[in-house]
Structure 1
């Protein structure tokens, strides 16, 4: 009987702790962070600097598109 009461208290405490978090907002924040997509292989990157590095390593024969084309 004692464990049953402790379990109920733990469940209530856990529900209060996680009630303020919204999983949809966390998913949306991750999607907003990825702003640049490689037109060759459709890899999503965070900024144009990473795109330049990506082109240098994965597509060395191609030229990287300018930053203005992504904004």
Structure 2
């Protein structure tokens, strides 16, 4: 007598034939539920591990100097569109590069 039972682990589906006894059916149902819980637990562990790894990568990446330098460029020359970090540099630039243009009003009180 052969036992004809098909077990598919990929989709967690177990097909049983009618000639299995009740305790065997209960065992199969218990196994089926256990397999789902194990995958759920693995998924949770995997998500936690990935979140920890992403946080460590972000922390290890550190400070981006290029972005910080770009954010520090506050003043823009109206003539050539060059950006400068402070008004003193802006006034020096304007006086050396655009001597014939009138001085912008925001640079009137700044000492170079």
Q: TM-score, normalised by structure 2?
A: 0.38
Unaligned runs of 5+ in 2: 1-56, 108-112
**Where in structure 2 are the equivalents of 1:1-71 lying within 5 Å?**
19-23=60-64, 26-67=65-106
Deviation of residue 55 (structure 1)? 1.3
Higher normalized contact order (CA 8 Å, seq sep 6+, divided by chain length): 1
| Aligned Cα root-mean-square deviation (Å) | 2.5
Deviation of residue 48 (structure 1)? 1.5
Unaligned runs of 5+ in 1: 1-15
Q: Aligned in 2, Cα 1:22/1:54: closer, same or farther, shift over 3 Å?
A: closer
Aligned residues: 50
Higher helix share: 1
- For the pair shown, the structure with the greater C-alpha radius of gyration is 2
| Alpha-carbon separation, structure 1, partners of 2:63 and 2:99 | 42
